[in-house]
Amino acid sequence: MSLFGEVPQATPVAVFKLSNDFKEDANPKKVNLGVGAYRTDEGQPWVLPVVKKVEKIIVADNSLNHEYLAILGLPEFRSSASKIALGEDSPAIQENRVGAVQCLGGTGALKMGAEFLRRWYNGNDNTKTPVYVSAPTWENHNAVFANAGFEDIRPYKYWDAEKRGLDLDGFLGDLESAPKHSIFVLHACAHNPTGTDPTHVEWMQVAEVMKRRKLFVFFDSAYQGFASGCLDKDAWAVRYFVTQGFEMFCAQSFSKNFGLYNERVGNLTIVARDSDNLKRVLSQMEKIVRVTWSNPPSQGARLVAITLNTPELFAEWKDNVKSMADRVLLMRASLQAKLQALETPGTWDHITQQIGMFSFTGLNPKQVEYMIKERSIYLMASGRINMCGLTTKNIDYVAESIHETVVNVQ
Amino acid sequence: MALLKSSKIISTVGVHPPLGVLSIRASSWWSEVQMGPPDPILGVSEAYKRDTNPKKINLGVGAYRDDQGKPYVLSCVRKAEAQIAAKKLDKEYLAIGGLGDFTKACAKLALGDDNEVIKSGRNITVQTISGTGSLRIGANFLSRFHTEARDVYLPKPSWGNHTPIFRDAGMQLKAYTYYDPKTCGFDFQGALNDISKIPEKSVIMLHACAHNPTGVDPRPEQWKEIADLVKKRNLLVFFDMAYQGFASGDIDRDAWAVRYFIEQGHNIVLSQSFAKNMGLYGERVGGFTVVCKDAEEANRVESQLKILIRPIYSNPPMNGARIAATILNTPDLYKEWLGEVHGMANRIITMRELLVANLKKEGSTRNWKHVIDQIGMFCFTGLKPEQVERLTKEFSVYMTKDGRISMAGVTSGNVGYLAQGIHAVTK
């Protein structure tokens, strides 16, 4: 008789299962367009040159030790990370109403924000506050908020499958009809999984409704710098909302733009009305951190802090980020050109219009299955591909495969 | 009735800020967020920092210090770091359950190399965010799947963070007698009495070694009786092992209780931390183990642990786990590590002896035997809150109100002064 006799086998997390299946595939032409991690043109993971440099600095520094960080994390990391999101000269920062919690990756930052909101937003422990996530969205958003206790997680219209672009009317419509004080999870840039971002004008419309209807702004910023190649451009939406006077959260990840995936470097930036409110919010954040992980890991935060706070290293980092974004842009242009040359049925402009790591190809589940089974090209059931999985060496094979799939499978 | 009503009104009236400020505060989402109470232990460290007395001593710190009072980075850790740097590894995401080289070695360290549990594959060990993260995952897992009982029984007293962790995970907290303030030792009979009354299937938390905060551990014969009784009561055992190696200096000795319970057929859950025994505090290295009926069950449990972990932080940090794995899996680093852990534990033991010797030298006639009998980083001195307050105010010795001192903060340089102070407030 086991206490765990009734524990059911859980279904594996899709994106990781995909990687596993890819690993086990013996086809030499196989291509992994699944997991969201950057790859070089050789299809290899890439440790940023600036990261290698800073790691050497850290190892050589005997004055550093492995003592606990403060509960909220490394101060120089938190403040420099928030500056990255909001801008060096952000008035909110100057007004001392911006704070941050160092967290375990972007996931951890979302988690902390969600836990705080459940306890303290719209009443106390109000688990009925609706949380809106885009349709579609990163598959973990739902679980993060559900596990924090929120009972009512709803989709807001976002992706228009027919026109393969933003369903602005649907989005604005859902903002208008959402109960007041609802929480909205917005992708700061490089929407995952669609790669489709609102334009500046569209963001302004979103902000207007959210302000009027008192909806809570929770940005998820996992790709700053990675989308356009420019940090400031990619932060435009976040900064615009700050100028509009919102109190808001921004969950930042440094997994992709620093390539520090496994060091779990994240930051929850908090913009409050004033420093007094900020202080009380941070004090409560500490309580939540303490019962979850006590204090965050130091290595990754140290690395990012040293980089952001040292001018030459900061410049080098921006270069490294731009080179990643540039390769993605090149692959987008290449893929689109090849599909056009092949005269693959359908329109493929969305490939170059979309931005960031991912592209919502528009392939349906049957077509996806065909790609995997017949061509050993691994992508998510949603039709999402990771552009980083494309290289100059495999792009022809992938283009041909998409062509064959679209022609043969409906 | 009228009185009740009016007191309600009074409580909402409060202080009137000027109208402008009121409207600003009213327009914040966070006006009703209360200031969180300060952390009792951090408060100690903060007060210590502010003190200008050159003789001040910080005995609140739960981190090892060398005899100069400085943080100590283990030599085997530095060597492991150099080895790792030379390998030029990538930074790809770890699996949700963490680094395999680490989790396997972590389980072996706790259970013993030749343990039948590991050989039969009936344990699942996942990498966690140090001890806290491990306890939290464990609490979440029990909350979700151990539905026959919601109660977790902690020893009285226990680590301050146990209660909020389990409570936040949705469990209910109860206690069993543990510490005897009269003897500053283990209240064995009291513990047995309380445990015998715990309802079946409840969760019982046991500190594997170096009980925090008292430093009081059961003797092996006592552990045997506890194991027996716990089996009779059909309780789910949750071991918290944050100090393996750090208590006696011997990793096998410190894991004895855990291994004994498993031998006796308890399918335990276990939290491990490498914060103290490898000095990897800020790297957040830990493990959570569930000993299952068989490998098939371990698979199911593993799949559910992953589901729990993913929405908290997706996957764990690499750096510390890589260092720990390198040490555990490289024979000469492992040997060096055992030596360094032994050294740390020895320094603590020596400080205990020195403290008692100095107290006697000061002329104290109190019985301080418990200072030597207790084990691990912490010592429950038996000092009362008023005495603690005097010790802090008059001698700038900082410790928590419950009389707990961290022996790690004691050095050959300050032990004499410390004895002076303790004697002064207790004579």
Tens-digit pLDDT profile for chain A (410 aa)? Answer: 566 777 778 777 777 788 889 999 999 999 999 968 999 999 999 999 999 999 999 988 989 999 999 999 999 999 999 999 999 999 999 999 999 999 999 999 999 999 999 999 999 999 999 999 999 999 899 999 999 999 999 999 999 988 889 999 999 999 999 999 999 999 999 999 999 999 999 999 999 999 999 999 999 999 999 899 999 999 999 999 999 999 999 999 999 999 999 999 999 999 999 999 999 999 999 999 999 999 999 999 999 999 999 999 999 999 999 999 999 999 999 999 999 999 999 889 999 999 999 998 989 999 999 999 999 999 999 899 999 999 999 999 999 999 999 999 98
Do β-strands B378-380 and A216-221 pair in parallel, antiparallel, or remain unpaired?
unpaired
**Spatial separation of the C-alpha atoms in residues B128 and B286, rounded to whole Å:** 5
Nearest CA-CA distance, residue A285 and chain B, Å:
9
The string of DSSP codes covering B334-362 is: HHHHHHHHHHHHHHHHHHHHHHHHHHHHH
**A138 catalytic, yes or no?**
yes
Place of tokens 């559910």: B304
The pTM is what?
0.93
Contact B311, A146 (CB under 8 A): yes
User: Considering Cα of A358, then A362, then A364, then A367, what sign does the dihedral take?
Assistant: negative
Short-list A379, A263, A5, A164, CA closest to B320: A263
pLDDT at B12: 41
The predicted pLDDT at position B5 comes to 41
Report CB contact under 8 Å: B284, A295: yes
pLDDT of residue A15: 77
Q: How far is A244 from A251, CA to CA, in rounded Å?
A: 19
Q: Which residue in A215, A233, A213, A212 sits closest to A223, CA to CA?
A: A233
CA angle (B279 as vertex; B274, B285 as ends), nearest 5: 30
Out of B159, B223, B337, B368, which one is annotated catalytic?
A: B159
- Match 């030597």 to its residue by tokens: B372
Nearest to A292 by CA among B242, B136, B107: B136
CA distance B17 to chain A (A): 14
Nearest to A159 by CA among A149, A174, A146: A174
A233 Cβ contact partners less than 8 Å away, ≥ 6 residues apart: A227
> Measured between CB atoms, does A6 come within 8 Å of chain B?
yes
Mutation to test the A interface, candidates B21, B25, B33, most A Cβ within 10 Å: B33
A262 vs B284: CB contact, 8 Å cut-off?
A: no
Read off the tokens for A72: 């909220």
Put simply, the answer to whether B136 touches A291 (Cβ < 8 Å) is yes
Residue of B nearest to A297 (CA): B283
The answer to whether the Cα torsion of B148, A9, B258, B353 is positive or negative is negative
Q: A157: distance to nearest CA of chain B, Å?
A: 23
Which residues numbered 121-150 in A keep a CB inside 8 Å of some CB on B?
121, 124, 140, 143-144, 146-147
Q: Which helix (H) or strand (E) covers residue B127, if one does? A: strand B123-129
CB-based contact B85 A293, cutoff 8 Å: no
**Region of residue B284 (phi > 0: left; psi between -120 and 50: alpha; otherwise: beta):** left
| CA–CA distance, B337 with B75 (Å, rounded to integer) | 8
Please tell me whether residue A141 adopts helix, strand or coil conformation. Answer: helix
Residue B311: its chain A contacts at CB < 8 A? 107, 111, 140, 143-144, 146-147
| pLDDT score of B23 | 40
Question: What's the CA gap between B50 and B54, in Å, rounded?
Answer: 11
Active-site residue B159, yes or no? yes
Asked if A275 has any chain B CB less than 8 Å from its own CB, the reply is no
A281 shares contact with chain B (CB less than 8 Å): yes
Using an 8 Å Cβ cutoff, are B283 and B239 in contact? Answer: no
d(CA A267, CA A102): 5
Structural tokens at position A264: 């779990």
Q: How far apart are CA B343 and CA B326, in angstroms?
A: 20
The 3-class SS string of A199-260 reads CHHHHHHHHHHHHHCCCEEEEEECCCCCCCCCHHHHCHHHHHHHHCCCCEEEEEECCCCCCC
Partners of B283 on chain A (C-beta within 8 Å) are 66, 297-299
Q: Measure A113 CA to nearest chain B CA, in Å.
A: 11
Residue of B30, B131, B282 lying closest to A280 (CB–CB) = B30
SS3 A129: coil
Report the pLDDT value the prediction gives residue A127, as an integer from 0 to 100: 97
Interface of A with B in 239-268 (CB under 8 A): 247, 255, 259-264
Write out chain B's pLDDT in tens, 427 residues: 443 344 343 334 444 444 444 443 347 878 888 888 877 777 788 889 899 999 999 999 789 999 999 999 999 999 999 999 999 899 999 999 999 999 999 999 999 999 999 999 999 999 999 999 999 999 999 999 998 899 999 999 999 999 999 999 999 999 999 999 999 999 999 999 999 999 999 999 999 999 999 999 999 999 999 999 999 999 999 999 999 999 999 999 999 999 999 999 999 999 999 999 999 999 999 999 999 999 999 999 999 999 999 999 999 999 999 999 999 999 999 999 999 999 999 999 999 999 999 999 999 999 999 999 999 999 999 999 999 999 999 999 999 999 999 999 999 999 999 999 999 999 9
Measure B363 CA to nearest chain A CA, in Å.
38
CB contacts, 8 Å: A260 with chain B: 91
Interface A-B, measured as beta-carbon pairs within 8 A, has a size of: 225
Identify the active-site residue in B187, B194, B240, B254. Answer: B240
Q: Could B319 and A111 be called an inter-chain contact, meaning their C-beta atoms sit closer than 8 Å?
A: no
What's the pLDDT at B25? 39
CB atoms within 10 A of CB A208: 13
Strand duo A377-378 + A31-32: pairing: parallel
Collect all residues with Cβ–Cβ distance below 8 Å to A387 and sequence separation of at least 6. Answer: A328, A331, A332, A335, A357, A358, A359
Closest CB to A66 among B165, B283, B317: B283
Instruction: Determine the Cα–Cα distance for residues B158 and B169; give it in Å rounded to an integer.
Output: 18
Q: Which residues of B137-150 are buried (b: 16+ CB within 10 A; e: fewer)?
A: bbbbbbbebbeebb
DSSP A324: H
What is the model's pLDDT at position A2? 67
For helices A298-309 and B318-329, give the axis angle rounded to 10 degrees. 130
Q: What is the pLDDT of residue A409?
A: 93
Q: CB-based contacts of B62: which residues, under 8 Å, 6+ apart?
A: B41, B212, B377, B378, B406, B408
Find the residue in B nearest to A139 (Cα): B311
Q: Give B26 to chain A, closest Cα distance, Å.
A: 10
Mark yes or no for CB contact B28/A280 under 8 Å: no
Whether B96 and A3 lie within 8 Å, measured CB to CB: no
Residue A403 CA to residue B194 CA, distance in Å, equals 72
Q: How far is A263 from chain B (nearest CA, A)?
A: 5
Annotated active-site residue in A53, A111, A157, A256: A256
Paired tokens of B119:
């050989």
Comparing C-alpha atoms, which of A243, A229, A139, A149 is closest to residue A185? Answer: A139
Q: Please answer yes or no on whether A293 and B129 come within 8 Å at the CB atom.
A: yes
Rounded CA-CA distance A380/B398 in Å is 57
B-chain CB neighbours of A153 within 8 Å are none
Q: Is B67 a catalytic residue?
A: no
Task: State which residue of chain A sits closest to B99, comparing Cα positions.
Answer: A262
Q: What is the pLDDT of residue B21?
A: 41
Residues of chain A neighbouring B145 (CB-CB closer than 8 A): 4, 6-7
**What is the spatial distance between Cα B282 and Cα B285, in angstroms, rounded to a whole number?**
8
Cα separation, A267 vs B270, whole angstroms: 30
**B102 bridge partner residues:** none
Nearest to B136 among A8, A103, A292 (CB): A292
In A303-362, the residues whose Cβ lies within 8 Å of chain B are none
Residues 6+ apart with CB under 8 A from A197: A166, A187, A189, A190, A191, A227, A237, A355, A356
Contact A294 B129 (CB under 8 A): yes
**Which residue from B27, B297, B307 is facing A4, i.e. has the nearest CB?**
B297
B198 CA: distance to closest CA in chain A (Å): 17
